[in-house]
């Protein structure tokens, strides 16, 4: 059997609006992010999930709660956190975003590499396969875990994952589908 995963990103944050990359900083959804999360509930009202996993950062938890309320069990998991940008958490996205693609194997100063994020996500996927085989789950999280899914499940290189990322191509969707065999 397989696990069907639908991946959602959290709503816009106050940091996003200020051009900052939050990383592991725990920031609030903006008014726009609250609106986006509520609208996502309407866009996904006909979908059914067995459970929803979220990053333990409040922007992801709050997004899921605003989207589905108590319709699904929501389980926070720290392995779904954004990349830890270390000394660059909360810094300008103009500085952090170029560092991301330079930090695939070498950690950002006092933070993580994208390979480290991939290992966190792989551990999460191993647990999913063991405990949710044959189920349909939703994930609400961040950029780095989504790129890790592209590498792990769609077999993209990191370079391909960054190049085709919806944030770069400006092609947001109300959920991205992945299959875990």
Q: Where are the domains of the chain?
A: 3-180
How confident is residue 128, by pLDDT bands cut at 50, 70 and 90? very high
Given this model, what pLDDT does residue 150 score? Answer: 98
Q: Work out the angle between the directed axes of helices 114-132 and 143-153 (0-180°, nearest 10).
A: 70
Given this model, what pLDDT does residue 13 score? Answer: 98
- On whether the CB atoms of residues 99 and 71 are closer than 8 A, the answer is no
Q: Which of 62, 82, 112, 142 is catalytic?
A: 82
HEC states along 20-89?
EECCCCCCCECHHHHHHHHHHHHHCCCCCCCEEEECCCHHHHHHHHHHHCCCCCEEECHHHCCCCCHHHC
Q: Which of 10, 62, 112, 142 is catalytic?
A: 10
For the chain, how are helix, strand and coil distributed in percent, rounded to 5?
Answer: 45, 15, 35
Given this model, what pLDDT does residue 132 score? Answer: 98
68 vs 145: CA distance, rounded Å: 21
DSSP 142: -
Can 62 be counted among the known catalytic residues? no
pLDDT tens digits along 55-112: 999 999 999 999 999 999 999 999 999 999 999 999 999 999 999 999 999 999 999 9
Give me the mean pLDDT over the 141-163 stretch: 98
Q: How far is CA 171 from CA 54, 102, 138, 142, 174, in A?
A: 22, 24, 20, 16, 10
Please classify residue 159 by burial: count the beta carbons closer than 10 Å to its beta carbon, then call 0-12 exposed, 13-18 middle and 19+ buried. Answer: exposed
Give me the mean pLDDT over the 31-58 stretch: 97
3 state SS of 136: strand
CATH 3.40.50.1240 assigned to 3-180: yes
pLDDT tens digits along 3-40: 999 999 999 999 999 999 999 999 999 999 999 999 99
pTM above 0.95, yes or no: yes
Can 142 be counted among the known catalytic residues? no
pLDDT tens digits along 94-104: 999 999 999 99
């Amino acid at each position: 059997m397989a696990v069907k995963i639908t991946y959602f990103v959290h709503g816009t944050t106050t940091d996003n609006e200020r051009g900052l990359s939050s990383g592991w900083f725990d920031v609030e959804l903006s008014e726009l992010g609250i609106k986006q999360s509520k609208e996502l509930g309407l866009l996904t009202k006909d979908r059914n999930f067995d459970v929803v996993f979220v990053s333990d950062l409040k922007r992801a938890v709050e997004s899921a709660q605003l989207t589905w309320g108590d319709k699904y069990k929501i389980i926070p998991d720290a392995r779904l956190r954004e990349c830890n940008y270390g000394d660059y958490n909360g810094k300008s996205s103009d500085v952090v975003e170029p560092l991301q693609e330079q930090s695939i194997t070498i950690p950002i100063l006092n933070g993580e590499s994208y390979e480290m994020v991939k290992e966190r996500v792989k551990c999460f996927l191993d647990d999913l396969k063991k405990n949710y085989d044959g189920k349909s789950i939703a994930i609400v999280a961040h950029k780095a875990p989504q790129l890790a899914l592209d590498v792990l499940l769609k077999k993209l290189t990191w370079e391909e994952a960054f190049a085709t990322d919806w944030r770069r191509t400006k092609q947001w969707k109300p959920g991205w589908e992945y299959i875990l065999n």
